[in-house]
């Protein structure tokens, strides 16, 4: 049996970081521990950009530098190369939030195609992330989810959405990368499911090109994983999924309370953890499922590593992948990579102003997840102390 994976080796975790990098990250994460500071800081940044104040440089030197690869695809290259030197793979995400116009949707599609062109040059780029709502209008997705009839113009609009998804998938297949479709809010997720499964049935024939993201903080998504797997067998396409806990908890609960329907979100963290780990085990036990474990939870990553060894699977099997966000949980990513797993970082990029919503979510999520900031700070402090010894 291979040696158990440990997440305590900070020398491995921060091998590509300078002491100055570590100190900057320590100050930033220490700030994130304070909910009031995050709330005020987020408001000041949004207001500053609205009033056209000269704050871009401050944001770029702090949160943007920690969590983003750059403003352009070219600026991400040094980070991609640095990660590859340590055996870490890259998944790229254009951080532009959902648009409103056909022109914006087409521009986002071309940006995704640009990422896939870059992937032809760098084998360590294994995928791109994309939301359907970055390629389609919210109102259209919501209307389809409500099963309301579409107008003739909306039918044509939907056709263009399918064409954008198809175009991205074709180029992903050519560049031997994957398209990981992000999850959306529950009131449009059924539509996303339909579009993703259509793309899977068309493109996941010889290899896993399209991945469906499954949010396990929803009470029904473990069952959805199993039903998706069954449909993939019936229709003879490869089932590929990215497992995450979830990103819209407060919004989902508030909407459910406002409209008077049962919340689709589990009532407590223990229930979410249970479903997430059961999903991990299910994917490992069914060798025709390709998956990415997208989680910062140490216990889930530890169980993944343990179960891979217990089931006598190869740590480097292409179908088994892990992923953490760029700038976070390096002690997980780098130690898994060194232990022989396909470990990757999700690197977002885009103009500073456009990725503010993404950066705000990172700050709020880090503050809300119990123990997350404490663990990040503990690892950084440990490595700084080791270097000073």
When pLDDT is averaged across residues 144-167 and rounded to a whole number, the result is: 98
pLDDT of residue 366: 56
Spatial CA neighbour of 184 closest among 128, 220, 134: 134
Residue 207 has pLDDT above 70, yes or no: yes
| 250 vs 245: CA distance, rounded Å | 13
Cα pseudo-dihedral 370, 334, 221, 138, rounded to 10? 90
CB count, 10 Å around CB of 177?
A: 24
CATH of domain 70-353: 3.20.20.220
pLDDT digits (tens, 9 = 90+) for 237-266: 999 999 999 888 889 999 999 999 999 999
Confidence band, pLDDT 50/70/90 cuts, at residue 59:
confident
pLDDT of residue 181: 97
CB count, 10 Å around CB of 271?
A: 14
Confidence band, pLDDT 50/70/90 cuts, at residue 98:
low
pLDDT of residue 203: 98
pLDDT of residue 221: 98
pLDDT digits (tens, 9 = 90+) for 340-376: 999 999 999 999 888 887 777 666 665 555 566 788 8
Where do the domains of the chain lie?
Answer: 70-353
3-state secondary structure labels for all residues of the chain: CCCCCCCCCHHHHCCCCCHHHHHHHHHHHHHHCCHHHHHHHHHHHHHHHHCCCCCHHHHHHHHHHHHCCCCCHHHHHHHHHHHHHCCCEEEEEECCCCCCCHHHHHHHHHHHHHHHHHHCCCCCEEEEEECHHHCCCHHHHHHHHCCCCCCHHHHHHHHHHHHHHHHHHHHHHHCCCEEEECCCCHHHHHHHHHHHHHHHHHHCCCCCCEEEEEECCECCHHHHHHHHHHHHHHHCCCEEEEEECCCCHHHHHHHHHHHCCCCCECCCHHHHHHHHHHHHHHHHHCCCEEEEEECCCHHHHHHHHHHHHHCCCCCCCCCEEEEEECCCCHHHHHHHHHCCCEEEEEEEECCHHHHHHHHHHHHHHHHHCCCHHHHHHHHHHHHHHHHHC
pLDDT of residue 50: 81
pLDDT digits (tens, 9 = 90+) for 321-335: 999 999 999 999 999
pLDDT of residue 55: 84
pLDDT digits (tens, 9 = 90+) for 4-51: 899 999 999 999 999 999 999 999 888 877 777 777 777 778 788 888
* This prediction's pTM: 0.94
């Amino acid at each position: 049996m291979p040696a158990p994976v440990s997440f305590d080796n900070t020398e491995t975790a921060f091998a590509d970081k300078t002491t100055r990098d570590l100190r900057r990250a320590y100050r930033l994460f220490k700030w994130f521990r304070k909910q009031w500071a995050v709330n005020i800081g987020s408001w000041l940044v949004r207001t500053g950009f609205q009033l056209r104040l000269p704050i871009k440089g401050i944001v770029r030197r702090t949160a943007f530098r920690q969590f983003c690869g750059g403003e352009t695809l070219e600026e991400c290259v040094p980070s991609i190369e640095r990660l590859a030197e340590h055996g870490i793979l890259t998944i790229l995400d254009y951080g532009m939030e959902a648009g409103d116009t056909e022109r914006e949707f087409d521009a986002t599609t071309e940006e995704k195609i640009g990422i896939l062109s870059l992937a032809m040059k760098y084998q360590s780029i294994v995928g791109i992330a994309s939301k359907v709502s970055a390629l389609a209008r919210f109102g259209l997705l919501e209307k389809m989810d409500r099963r309301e009839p579409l107008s003739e113009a909306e039918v044509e609009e939907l056709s263009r959405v399918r064409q954008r998804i198809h175009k991205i998938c074709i180029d992903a297949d050519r560049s031997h990368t994957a398209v990981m479709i992000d999850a959306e809010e529950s009131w449009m997720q059924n539509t996303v499911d339909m579009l993703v499964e259509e793309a899977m049935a068309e493109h996941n024939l010889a290899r896993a090109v399209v991945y469906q993201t499954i949010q396990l903080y929803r009470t029904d998504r473990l069952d959805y994983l199993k039903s998706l797997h069954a449909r993939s067998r019936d229709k003879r396409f490869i089932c590929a999924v990215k497992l995450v806990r979830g990103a819209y908890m407060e919004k989902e609960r508030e909407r459910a309370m406002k409209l008077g329907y049962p919340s689709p979100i589990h009532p407590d963290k223990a229930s979410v953890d249970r479903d997430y780990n059961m999903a991990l085990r299910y994917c490992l036990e069914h060798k025709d499922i390709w998956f990415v474990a997208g989680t910062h939870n140490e216990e889930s990553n530890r169980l993944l590593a343990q179960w891979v060894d217990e089931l006598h699977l190869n740590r480097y099997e292409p179908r088994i992948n892990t992923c953490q966000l760029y700038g976070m949980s390096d002690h997980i990513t780098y130690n898994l990579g060194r232990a022989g797993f396909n470990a990757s970082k999700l690197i977002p990029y885009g103009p500073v102003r456009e990725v503010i919503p993404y950066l705000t979510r990172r700050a709020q999520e880090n503050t809300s997840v119990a123990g997350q900031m404490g663990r990040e700070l503990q690892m950084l402090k440990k490595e700084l102390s080791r270097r000073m010894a």
